[in-house]
Amino acid sequence: MATLENTASGPLLTADGTPLKVSLARSLRRSKLRGALLVLPALLFLIIIFVVPIAQLLSRSVDDTLVNRALPRTFVAFESWDRQSLPAEAMFEAIFLDITTGEKYTIGKATTRMNYEKPGWRSLIKKSGRKFKKKIKGPPYRDAMIKIDKRWGDVTFWQTLGAMKDPQTLGYFLNAVDRQYDANKHVIMKEKERRVYVMLWWRTFLLSLIVTVGCLAMAYPVAHLLATLPLRYSNLLMICVLMPFWTSLLVRIVAWMVMLQNNGVINSTLVWSGILDDENRLPMMYNFTGTVIVMIQILLPFMILPIYSVMKTIPPSYMRAAQNLGAPPSLAFLKVYFPQTLPGVGAGVILVFIVAIGYYITPELVGGKDGQLIGNMIAYHMQKSLNWGLAAAMGTLLLAAILLLYWVYDRIVGIDNMRMN
Partner 1 sequence: MSSGTTETDNYVRFDAVQKSYDGESLVIKDLNLDVQRGEFLTLLGPSGSGKTTCLMMLAGFEPATHGEIYLDGRPINAVPPHRRGIGMVFQNYALFPHMTVNENLAFPLQVRRINKNEIESRVKRALEMVRLSEFGARRPGQLSGGQQQRVAVARALVFDPKLVLMDEPLGALDKQLREQMQYEIKHIHDNLEVTVVYVTHDQSEALTMSNRICVFNEGIIEQLASPTDLYERPNNAFVAQFIGENNTLPGQVTSVNGNHCQVQTDGGATVEALKVNVNASGDRTTLSLRPERVEVNPEPGKFPNVFDARVEELIYLGDHIRTRASVCGQTDFIVKIPNASEHAVLQAGDSVKFGWSAEDCRALDVYQGA
Q: How far is the CB of 331 from partner 1 (least distance, A)?
A: 6
Q: Is the Cβ–Cβ distance between 319 and 332 less than 8 Å? A: yes
Q: Is the Cβ–Cβ distance between 321 and 240 less than 8 Å? A: no
User: Using the rule CB under 8 A, is 336 a contact of partner 1?
Assistant: yes
Among 320, 386, 408, 415, binds partner 1 (CB under 8 A): 320
What one-character-per-residue DSSP string does 16-64 give?
Answer: TSSBHHHHHHHHHHHHHHHHHHHHHHHHHHHIIIIIHHHHHHHHHTTB-
Among 335, 403, 404, 415, binds partner 1 (CB under 8 A): 335
Which span sits near partner 1 by CB under 8 A: 69-77, 176-184, 332-340, 402-410? 332-340
Q: Is the Cβ–Cβ distance between 238 and 408 less than 8 Å? A: no
Q: How far is the CB of 233 from partner 1 (least distance, A)?
A: 15
Among 177, 323, 382, 402, binds partner 1 (CB under 8 A): 323
Bridge partners of residue 19, in order along the sequence: 13
What phi and psi, each to the nearest 5 degrees, are found at residue 87? -60, 160
- The one-letter amino acid code at 402 reads I
Q: Which is nearer to partner 1, 332 or 393 (CB)?
A: 332
Q: Which is nearer to partner 1, 135 or 335 (CB)?
A: 335
User: Using the rule CB under 8 A, is 414 a contact of partner 1?
Assistant: no
Q: Which is nearer to partner 1, 265 or 321 (CB)?
A: 321
Among 199, 324, 399, 407, binds partner 1 (CB under 8 A): 324
Helix, strand and coil content of the chain, in percent to the nearest 5, comes to 70, 0, 25
Q: How far is the CB of 328 from partner 1 (least distance, A)?
A: 5
What phi and psi, each to the nearest 5 degrees, are found at residue 327? -90, 130
Q: Which is nearer to partner 1, 297 or 309 (CB)?
A: 309
Q: Is the Cβ–Cβ distance between 285 and 370 less than 8 Å? A: no
Q: Which is nearer to partner 1, 237 or 319 (CB)?
A: 319
DSSP 8-state class, residue 85: S
CA atoms within 13 A on the CB side of 181: 20
Q: Is the dihedral of CA 301, 302, 303, 308 positive or negative?
A: positive
**Considering CB under 8 A, how many residues would be counted as binding partner 1?**
19
Among 11, 221, 329, 414, binds partner 1 (CB under 8 A): 329
Q: Which is nearer to partner 1, 270 or 327 (CB)?
A: 327
User: Using the rule CB under 8 A, is 406 a contact of partner 1?
Assistant: no
Q: Is the Cβ–Cβ distance between 348 and 307 less than 8 Å? A: yes
CB neighbour burial string for 378-395, b if at least 16 within 10 angstroms, e if fewer = beebbeeeebbbbbbbbb
Q: Is the Cβ–Cβ distance between 133 and 100 less than 8 Å? A: yes
User: Using the rule CB under 8 A, is 227 a contact of partner 1?
Assistant: no
User: Using the rule CB under 8 A, is 233 a contact of partner 1?
Assistant: no
The residues, any chain, with a CB within 8 Å of residue 200's CB and separated by 6 or more, are 372, 373, 374, 377
Which span sits near partner 1 by CB under 8 A: 115-123, 157-165, 208-216, 334-342? 334-342
The SS3 of residue 170 is: coil
User: Using the rule CB under 8 A, is 248 a contact of partner 1?
Assistant: no
User: Using the rule CB under 8 A, is 334 a contact of partner 1?
Assistant: no
Q: Which is nearer to partner 1, 106 or 323 (CB)?
A: 323
Bridge partners of residue 180, in order along the sequence: 188
Q: Which is nearer to partner 1, 17 or 315 (CB)?
A: 315
User: Using the rule CB under 8 A, is 229 a contact of partner 1?
Assistant: no
Which span sits near partner 1 by CB under 8 A: 35-43, 132-140, 302-310, 314-322? 314-322
Q: Which of positions 337-366 make contact with partner 1 (CB under 8 A)?
A: 339-340
Q: How far is the CB of 220 from partner 1 (least distance, A)?
A: 18
- The one-letter amino acid code at 140 reads P
Among 328, 404, 406, 407, binds partner 1 (CB under 8 A): 328
Q: Which is nearer to partner 1, 168 or 340 (CB)?
A: 340
Give me the count of residues in the chain. 421
Positions touching partner 1 (CB under 8 A) are: 315, 317-318, 320-329, 331-332, 335-336, 339-340
